[in-house]
A and B are shown apart, each in its own frame.
Chain A
């Protein structure tokens, strides 16, 4: 502002700079979004490394099963404990002891804090599924640590 008063000719330049800063802030989003985007990248590459020697999978369910067994074991050290679906594009995967929370106090105390820790894994799952040909939205929910539920919503195919 000071600058603008002293050098009116600089107006454009200063405004542009401000504008680009504002744009940057909006593109980058909040911490969760950015972590999710990082996870997406990781999952996208990781699934290729894990799935390279595996025969072609047909159908959504088979891919989800691959994700719950092979992928989960290779990436997070154990299998998913429970996979449920409503057969209309919504899957719920339950991990009874997600590795990130093995050092957390079990119970409800850190449920709120856990959200930020789950942004990256959600991205990993989304990236992995995307590279398997499934376009989806992944969210997570926690009621009692260290039990984590991942919700996968398939995008409508056009």
Chain B
């Protein structure tokens, strides 16, 4: 299912003195099955853009095509219910949305809302909990008794249980320890590969962008500043600094190596690419020495 933005503008609190522009003339296409990272400074409009993806916000002008349904200013709430099932949205700190008495019930909540029977929903919830790595012994616990990382997984399971075609993630690993972060990112990668789910990820972790995304969108002041593969986006150092964006960790290392006299024809993004570039230069160096 493709999601297309056509000249989308969004204004917060329109027609009041407090009106602020959230999005400015966004034209963008998220192709089915892709893994897109959205990056940009805080307040650049990333989260506003995300909320258009499942019509929590409707554009002030222009339109968003979600699958074959167009969402415009005038679209009625009733028409949006089914659409929300196919686009799952995981908000920042999603653990704050847990509310049921048991973990299992909470995960079954969304499928029930979208018309599944009690038994079906429970079945789906069980499967999804296994998928995110929550053990059977935790199913009947209160969600609030779990650890932070476990709560995060249960919350994510709650969205995955809707069996969405597009999964939208707003900083899913914020506030997690390194291991938890890696596990969750790999979980998304697995779902992306096995089920062909489109993933749209908002993040400040440039390493994640490089490691997982096949397309990156840079946002700045409510506008799209750049679209391309991570390699294209991270190629221009000066441009990145001008937009207050960080480099991935390999990029930072490359910068320091360049100062020591190493030459790079392209910006290596992964450790393996970096090694491939370094090896011949190191060999030459040792021959000279």
Does A associate with B in a complex? no
- List residues of chain A with CB under 8 Å of any chain B CB: none
Binding site for A on B (CB under 8 A): none
